[in-house]
A and B are shown apart, each in its own frame.
Chain A
Amino acid sequence: MYAAWTVKHKPRILSEVVGNEEAIQKLINWIKSWDKEIPKKRAAFLYGPPGVGKTVAVEALAYDLKMELVEKNASDYRTEEAVQRFAGLASQYATLFGGKRLILFDELDGITGTADRGGVRAITETIKIARCPVVLIANNAYDPRFSNLRKYCLLVEFKKPTILQVMKSLKKVCVSEGIEADERALRLIAERSGRDVRSAINDLQALAQGRRRLTYEDVAWLGERDRKEVIFNVLRTIFYARECAEAKRAVDAADVDPDMLFQWVYENAPYQLTDAWDLARAMEALARADVYRGRIRATQDWELLRYVLDFMTAGVAMSRQRTKPSGWVPFRFPERVRWLARTKQERQMQGLIGMKIRRRMHVSSVRAVKEILPYIRVIFEDNAEMAAGIAKWLDLDEDMIGYLAGSEGRAKAIVGNLGS
């Protein structure tokens, strides 16, 4: 049930393929020309960056034109002999049952080293005598290894789709998965993928599987993933700087969001500063930075940001006094961001109950969750009758009762008491 969405939602027909219309039309014209006579170029060489839909286009084309597709990839042409084993197929125009055949050599970049040289040569020989269309796919057609092969091929370039086109693909997946996604969320995923549809859809699956809604906040941290290197450099400077100025410069040099950087430093401090004294200093520096953040919130005086930055960079850097050097300690992704995602469902349920409490008890839902819900939970565990009364009074539904009761048996007992 957890099939990769890149496979599950792969376009099957050409009209579903997004982008590269020109390249695809060129390919169609060339294949159709086979109906009249064997064209001068017996192979088409599709090239372009990963994830732009080269293979998908060929597969959909074969489907639309009702051709039998014989697909081979890197592992099939390690050596000359391996290629020759199926080269024979290419020398016949019609299939056994009279249908047309299309031969696809995918992932040509996978041929490496001298051992595979024979592979490229064998493919070239196959093309020279081919009696049915052969399609080659690689990221870089101008690799010197392909210089001879190229002469026999029609070159077709596939370009990266636009952001809008990537978003269109993502939207389609969302629709068929029943996910309501914010435009901004999809745009960010599309941008971060570097306009690689496959990786965008993979990211989408990682972020959205099992959800009904996808908001910008859900994907915002993705932004930092690509910038891992930038962040790592800043962290390295902060944790190893010997002078305040050095640590402070790290932030100016890299354009990093201070809030996100704070989370990174906060997460990594205990791993980088193993001495208890150092760690206490570093955590206090971060706590002081947080106090200034609070002051900014209260006063809206953003001038105070400089003190936040002082504490989270220089403050942490100057904490390193006693920690013994212990070689390279890898940096970790902020767990807190992940925690927030992991506990989201639970917090959503609490929020819904909080709204119910709020309606009755003159408190905000946030406060209700923190200050009242815990006691209601105890009552739900101990006294089904009182729980049922409270459930009725607050107008809780069965999901909420189930959550508060904590076990199915107790939930049943409470629901059983609802009628009385």
Chain B
Amino acid sequence: MSFEMWSEKYRPKSLGEMVNQKEIVERLKSFVKARNIPHCIFAGPPGTGKTTGALCLAHDLYGEGYREHLMELNASDERGINVVRETVKTFARTRSIGEIPFKIMILDEADNMTGDAQQALRRTMERFTETCRFILICNYSGKIIEPIQSRCAPFRFTYLSKEDQYAYLQNIIKKENVKMLDEGLNAIFEVSGGDLRRAINTMQAAASAGKPIDAETVYSVVGRANPADVRNMIGLAMKGDFIGAREKLREMILKYGLAGSDIIRQIHIEIFRLNIPEQWKIRLADAIGEIDFRLVQGADEEVQLSALLARLTEASYEMKRGV
């Protein structure tokens, strides 16, 4: 077994190695062939190949020395108008040496940029189109301002199918000598929900225990990676102790740094395991879905999940009254 993060080690280097997002990959390959690319927006959920796609595109376009023609900026670390003005401008305005006359700027998590920064970016994109092409990566393209969207070719990445994930994971299992049981693999598919990075991270953490990976090991990794006891939190809410449940929620988000999307995913799994009337499970799933959607749109995790907990508290009263 190798001792680095597998999700990085096995990141595809070239578009030919990407097995998922077939239509997108085909279009990117055609860019390589034409030796020209437009500004692009890669939108879609985490772990679906957006950053990988951008890196592979650059690799195939420039060859091995592609790093010299490429700059990666992360908007959540370096957001703000000054970064765009200075860093981006300095990079964008100098001409690339080599046969391809432009460089590539990858702006990851572009949906986290402030409106002002996006406005500044828009002007920069226009002024330096000759020398620099932008690839904006985001979860949700709706958070990118219209004028930028209209200047970019949009690509919508989707969660990986089970088959595509299987192909990736099998390769790693073979190379790393992982002892994987079928039930373990199925459990990984269940908890990853099509997010390949999560699937690989979960597998590596499960493998680190050094035993054949069964479903139990996978669930235990998920539970430990999310020290949040979601079941306990739901239990408190349904017992009527909303305040206690909110306290747990705060602990998960603020102390353990858990993502709201992880918490809600677990709530969703737990609801269907609860011993409550069946028709309530689907009613609650609707409430969960609504909150999930708001989180995707960038709403506040604690506030939204609190509203969901309050709904659970209310639901448990209604169940008792037989509504």
Contact = CB atoms under 8 A, between A and B. Distances in A.
B108 A362 contact: yes
A283 B77 contact: no
A335 B298 contact: no
Interface string A340-365: 10010011001000010010111111
B252 to A, nearest CB: 11
A290 B51 contact: no
B250 A276 contact: no
Contacts of A386: 1, 3, 208
A383 interface: yes
Interface in B280-323: 291, 294, 297-300, 302-304, 306-307, 309-311, 313-314, 316-317
A276 B317 contact: yes
A382 B208 contact: yes
A360 B137 CA distance: 18
Interface residues of A, number: 60
B226 to A, nearest CB: 6
A373 B142 CA distance: 28
B314 A339 contact: no
B205 interface: yes
B208 A343 contact: no
Given A287-B307, A389-B4, A366 B208 contact: no
Interface in A259-313: 266, 270-271, 276-277, 279-280, 282-284, 286-287, 290-291, 293-294, 297-300
Interface string B1-35: 11111011001000000000000000000000000
Contacts of B224: 377-378, 381
Contacts of B258: 370, 374
B278 to A, nearest CB: 21
A393 B201 CA distance: 16
Contacts, number: 175
Q: Which of A276, A290, A335, A375 has the most CB of B within 10 A?
A: A375
A387 B204 CA distance: 11
Nearest to B76: A364
A177 interface: no
Interface residues of B, number: 66
B130 interface: no
Interface in B212-262: 221, 224-226, 240, 242-243, 246, 250, 254-259, 262
B284 to A, nearest CB: 12
Contacts of A361: 5, 7-8
A364 B74 contact: yes
Contacts of A286: 303, 306-307
A290 B297 CA distance: 11
A270 B246 contact: yes
Contact of B4 (A293, A371, A393): A393
Given A379-B208, A386-B1, A362 B72 contact: yes
Contacts of A299: 115
A294 B83 CA distance: 23
A379 B204 contact: yes
Contacts of A363: 51, 74, 108
A276 B208 contact: no
B76 A379 contact: no
**For chain B, what secondary structure do more than half of its interface residues adopt (helix, strand, loop), or is it mixed?**
helix
B254 to A, nearest CB: 5
Contacts of A378: 205, 208, 221, 224-225
Contacts of B154: none
Given A287-B304, A358-B77, A373-B257, A270 B243 contact: yes
Contacts of B198: 371
Interface string A383-417: 10111111011000000000000000000000000
Contacts of A136: none
Contact of B3 (A276, A283, A294, A393): A393
Given A287-B303, A375-B201, A378-B208, A358 B74 contact: yes
A279 B238 CA distance: 13
B263 to A, nearest CB: 11
B29 to A, nearest CB: 21
A336 B302 contact: yes
A294 B317 contact: no
Contacts of B202: 375
B46 interface: yes
A298 B146 CA distance: 11
A369 interface: yes
A14 to B, nearest CB: 47
B299 A290 contact: yes
A331 to B, nearest CB: 14
A362 B55 contact: yes
Contacts of A377: 224-225
A298 B141 CA distance: 11
Nearest to A346: B255
Contacts of B76: 364-367
A280 B254 contact: no
Contacts of B5: 360-361, 372, 376, 390, 393
A130 B226 CA distance: 75
A283 B304 CA distance: 8
A376 to B, nearest CB: 8
B60 interface: no
Contacts of B208: 378-379, 382-383, 386-387
Contacts of A350: 257
A370 B259 contact: yes
Contact of A284 (B4, B143, B310): B310
Contacts of B243: 270-271
Nearest to B139: A367
Lowest 9 CB-CB distances: which A-B pairs, in order?
A389-B3, A287-B307, A374-B225, A300-B115, A283-B310, A383-B208, A280-B314, A375-B201, A364-B76
Given A287-B307, A365-B76, 12 more contacts: A276-B314, A280-B313, A298-B298, A339-B254, A362-B72, A362-B108, A367-B46, A374-B225, A374-B258, A375-B225, A377-B225, A378-B224
